[in-house]
Amino acid sequence: MPFIPHTESDVREMLATIGAPSTTALFDEIPPELICKGLHGVPEGLGEMDIVRLMQGRAKLDGQPLNFIGAGAYEHHIPAAVWDITTRGEFYSAYTPYQAEASQGTLQLLYEFQSMMTALTGMEVSNASMYDGASALAEALLMAVRSNPKTGPVRVLMPQAVHPYYREAVRAITEAQNLELLPLAFDAARGDTAAAQLKQYEGQDITALVIPQPNFFGVLEDVDTLTDWAHANGAMVVGVVNPLSLALLEPPGEWGAKGADIVCGDGQPLGAPLSSGGPYFGFLTAKQQFVRQMPGRIVGRTVDVDGKPGFTLTLQAREQHIRRSKATSNICTNQGLLVTAATIHMSMLGAEGLARVGAHSVGNTQALVQKLAAIPGVELVFTGDRFHEAVIRLPQPAAPLLEKLAKQDILGGFDLSRHYPELGNAVLVCATETKSEADLDRYAAALRKLLSQ
């Protein structure tokens, strides 16, 4: 419920029934020195009307700028029905399905989500969700370590064209577990990961190769060549993908001769609004042979004693269910609401709808790049084929220009200077299906004017 229904008289009656003088007395086992003496700096509580006014004012501060930033979080149209259904009480208040007999709706939805993700990625099994794309990649690599044990150091080939925030998260999560990340450079002309540099690792113990598709620059990788090299050299393939792109591109399960082994990514493009940074959710799929090393848990379809179909938790690999030493992760229930939205979103759009969204986004980005590259001094950085993002180079430092564009309610892209200083005044831009021709022209005109001043 969105409010606490107990009146003061209700509370007094309940306390009298159990023989407690006050609610404070219910916590008398807490040592006095551990009890908070007050919350300094926290203002007095407000009434509902004042709270609504305050929150509306805060929301207006965000404004409604024209957004050309992608970089892992994308502005897509979400049909109104998606969140109208998602926020119904039976979905909105659902927690973890500990009792299968009382959680059939939640379990069926998670089962449908798993089925959709395996169909989208071309893999055999999927779990019920992860925290986000970055931590999903870290979990995928730890899963690869468990699935592909090596006698020597645990080494993973990590392209520099993987999202820099993902690489930072992976390092933070795995470095204490002695996982060594070996960087792979991107081709300065095309923007993809050059396969030729892999030759230096032939004959060495490599646990896994990470393949981003598309990569952080929006460029498409030569996934078949990279996958075949990894398998030929005893390494597993971990794909990190934009799920929307899979409506158009070859699914990871068909990469190379044998397909990827584990596939992960962020499900944000599938019905999750930007919402000032989240929350989003991650996904993880894999080949059947590695299913017992998957983090989280898997929902399965079965029949009851009467032969009627039903759903249950088939595999539960978290320490809450099994001995801690055998657990793969504590991840499971965290993003049920977002998974609900994604399942409804994919159901409403279907394969054809997702493909149309992807194709429209590709077309918009292509048109945006043409308009921006026509401005004197602006150039396209990479020549490789791309999805719905591209890197442009500006004739002036990117940060001040982006700040000036923001003052005109235009979010002009992601400044790459911090993570890729070798690219100069480079900006990653994105145009999804939400952008009109007039939107593209407005951005191009504003940038042209700023550069001419």
The answer to whether residue 124 is domain-embedded is yes
Same structural domain, 331 and 227 = yes
- The parent domain of residue 175 ranges over 80-345
Residue with tokens 């996982």: 179
DSSP state of 246: G
CATH of the domain at 192: 3.40.640.10
Q: How far apart are CA 115 and CA 126, in angstroms?
A: 7
Domain end point (choices 345, 374, 393)? 345
Domain end point (choices 345, 373, 389)? 345
Same structural domain, 232 and 149 = yes
Residues 6+ apart with CB under 8 A from 286: 123, 124, 125, 126, 143, 261, 262, 263, 294
Confidence (pLDDT) at 84: 94
Element (DSSP H or E) covering residue 240: strand 236-241
DSSP state of 408: T
The answer to whether residue 106 is domain-embedded is yes
Computed over every residue of the chain, the mean pLDDT equals 92
Domain end point (choices 345, 378, 411)? 345
Confidence (pLDDT) at 317: 59
Confidence (pLDDT) at 357: 98
Same structural domain, 314 and 398 = no
Confidence (pLDDT) at 97: 75
pLDDT < 50 stretches in the chain: 1
Extract the runs of DSSP E, i.e. beta strands, from 317-388: 379-380
Same structural domain, 416 and 273 = no
Q: How far apart are CA 118 and CA 254, in angstroms?
A: 12
Confidence (pLDDT) at 1: 40
DSSP state of 395: S
pLDDT tens sequence across 130-157: 889 999 999 999 999 999 887 778 999 9
pLDDT tens sequence across 417-443: 999 999 999 999 999 999 999 999 999
Same structural domain, 336 and 358 = no
Q: How far apart are CA 345 and CA 287, in angstroms?
A: 25
Closest Cα to residue 125, out of 283, 247, 231, 245? 283
Tell me if 161 sits within 8 A of 218, measured CB to CB: no
Tell me if 105 sits within 8 A of 94, measured CB to CB: yes
Confidence (pLDDT) at 130: 87
Residues paired with 312 in a beta bridge = 300
Confidence (pLDDT) at 49: 94
